[in-house]
A and B are shown apart, each in its own frame.
Chain A
Amino acid sequence: MTAAAIQDSRYLVLVVDDVPDARESCADFLSARGFSVVTAADGREAVALASELHPDVVLMDLRMPVMDGLEATRRLKEDRQTSQIPVIAITAHAVESAPKEALEAGCSEVLIKPCMPDELEKAVRRSLPDGAEQPTA
């Protein structure tokens, strides 16, 4: 763990992705950048974890089995317990309308895969409350 990691570990990021390597690499990257990370493999699991852990931000893949990211986001926004948690959609969708749908579902931001690691980190920090936006040293 680097100094930066320690510094930001107070923030919990929920990474939701059905592809294990994608999920794991993203989690590893954010951990390396100092965030606490939990992961979920589908929408239902994500909603359950979010209700339980109240993460500071959710990175939500949109296309997933069982329950997709859009539905999961809607559920989170409907629940008063979780409605305040910012959700960043990450999509590899080739469909033009995907970002729009994601925003309508309640996502605060949409990132298109492949997102550069730095871009991802910036987006996460933008979503966090005050004081988290300065880049890691």
Chain B
Amino acid sequence: MKEAEPGLHRDPTKDRLSLAEALVAENSPADLARTTLGWLSRAAGLEHGLCAVVERCRHRLCGLCGHGLDDEEVSAYEIDLDEDDPLAMVLDGESPVFVDEATLQTLPASEVPRGMGPFWAVPLGTGGTPMVGLLLAAGDAIDAAELRWASDLLGIKLAAEATHELRRESDRLERELQRLEASLEAVPDPVLVTDDQENILLMNPPAERLFDSDEHNDNAGGRRIRSNRAVLSSFLGKLQAQGTGRYTDRLGFLEPSGGEELTVQATAGQVTSERGDEAAVVTILHDLGEAMEKALLYDKFKRHSEELEARCQEATAELAEQNEMLRRKTLEAEEASAMKSQFLANVSHELRTPLNVILYYSTLLRDGVYGDLEEAPRDKLEKVTSNAQHLAELISEILDFSRIEAGKLQIVPEDVDLRELVEEVVAELEVLVDNSDVDVGVQVSPALPTLHTDRGKVKQVLVNLLSNALKFTPEGSVRMEATMPDPGRVAIAVEDTGVGIPQEQQRTVFEPFGRSGSAAGASDTGSGLGLSICKRLAESLGGSLELDSTVGEGSTFTLRIPARVADDR
């Protein structure tokens, strides 16, 4: 190898300036190289020249631009640089090397552009940084100094361009990485990228939680993370062993902070580089735990629901039992009530026969059948008779009441002419009416149809109401009026101008023995059962008994019954 001799016919300074200016103006590496080669051909005696650059990320030298060579030759120039390759050694150094004829023969054919004789191989680059390419320059009288100068300039410019390019690339990568990280962070499942040594290159926060030992300094947490890493490592090992580039398995990890078991569906895929060798493994851990948690929640919910249902059934059963008990008690109570009523009926029955004897004989004695009596005994006998009669009425009412209470009341409906019935009622009370000072009036609306009801019961009520009215009305009038205020319903009102019933007693008057005791005349007649019997009779006929009364003005009792009652009762 020898130093090139400088050219003689030019002004080197002026030439160099022109190259520098040209290179400043150019930006693309190919243009830089073309300009430089052109300048060298003029200024340094270059006959054949080729500028090749080291391609990024590859240990490869590629033709960029040529001089005195056809374009095909330039673009075909591609050399893989082994470490002991002569040109590689030139690149590793900093100085130009002259490849003479003998050396040329030792080079692989591919490293020598076709038609090029011995040449200068000049590394392109700057001191301290990797060379960006080689300049191959051939010429019989090449000016080594110019060559060296131009190469340095081109090298600096190319390196600067490469740096720019690298920075742009780096920025782009940075942005891509950020985008990737943002995407990964948005994934709720742990995602991590590992290299072929199973080192973690990248992971999202959920993955960090499981595998990042910086997060847990305490022993337990660290131990769990080591355990997790071991599980992951074993999983990745299986991926490698399978060789299909993809592997799925169910894995159990430990939550570092709490130690809870996390079951995940792990899926790993190998990401290969452009050159086909494995660059990284992406692993996604789908958290089945959440699903399991949901399943757990569902189980819990179901259990609670079942418990609730069981309790509900229990409560229902209890309720049913209580209902049954209540029903039994009601039956018992009804039975007891019926027994009580039966007892009352029996008692009143047993009282009747002797009472009849008393009634007959007191009447006969009073009538003087067994001899005339003095006024005093006659008077007393009168009291015995009237009280015996009162007692008889009382017993009758008790029997009626006990029958009603025992539910033994039978409704026997028949066609009833109300006018006839009312007249009969008045006739029955003839004695009372005759002995009274009040004016008794009866009015039956001609529009009334023939009723279909229990004649005896209606009569019983009316007799009771009318006799009450007569008893409690010292003077004035008593009126009985039958009307039909609503279709299908009959109202029979018994109105008197008697003593009246105080407001507070108007409700209790229908209760057994609830009649006003303070009302004038109340103490000497009636059992106190009459009105409550009437009310029950009215209800048994599907009707009602109402009271409207003002003390000192009088009372009106109104029996309201349907014109027709059903036969089946």
Contacts and interface: CB of A to CB of B under 8 A. Distances in A.
Contacts of A32: 364, 367, 369
Contact of A25 (B360, B367, B396): B360
B403 A114 contact: no
A3 interface: no
B353 A92 contact: yes
A31 B187 CA distance: 121
Contact of B361 (A28, A93, A94): A28
B155 to A, nearest CB: 136
Nearest to A5: B369
Given A25-B357, A25-B360, A114 B392 contact: yes
Contacts of A25: 356-357, 360-361
A32 B357 CA distance: 14
Contact of B360 (A26, A96, A100): A26
Contacts, number: 64
A65 interface: no
Contacts of B355: 113-114
Interface centre among A32, A113, A116, by most chain B C-beta atoms within 10 angstroms, is: A113
A114 B385 CA distance: 13
A22 B369 contact: no
Contacts of A116: 359, 389, 392
A113 B363 contact: no
A130 interface: no
Contacts of A129: none
Contact of B356 (A2, A94, A100, A115): A115
B349 A117 contact: no
A21 B356 CA distance: 9
B348 interface: yes
Interface residues of B, number: 30
A21 B357 CA distance: 7
Residue of A22, A94, A116 ringed by the most chain B CB atoms within 10 A: A94
Nearest to A27: B360
A112 B345 CA distance: 13
Nearest to A136: B367
A96 B410 CA distance: 8
B60 to A, nearest CB: 126
Contacts of B395: 114
Contacts of A97: 410
27 contacts: A2-B369, A21-B353, A21-B357, A22-B356, A22-B357, A25-B357, A25-B360, A28-B360, A28-B364, A29-B361, A32-B364, A92-B349, A92-B352, A93-B349, A94-B346, A94-B349, A94-B399, A94-B402, A96-B403, A100-B412, A112-B396, A114-B359, A114-B396, A115-B356, A116-B389, A117-B359, A117-B363
Interface of B: 342, 345-346, 348-349, 351-357, 359-361, 363-364, 367, 369, 389, 392, 395-396, 399, 402-403, 408-410, 412
5 smallest A-B Cβ distances: which pairs? A94-B345, A25-B360, A113-B352, A29-B360, A114-B392
Given A113-B356, A117-B360, 15 more contacts: A21-B353, A22-B357, A29-B360, A29-B364, A92-B349, A93-B349, A94-B348, A94-B349, A94-B403, A97-B410, A100-B412, A113-B355, A114-B355, A114-B396, A116-B359
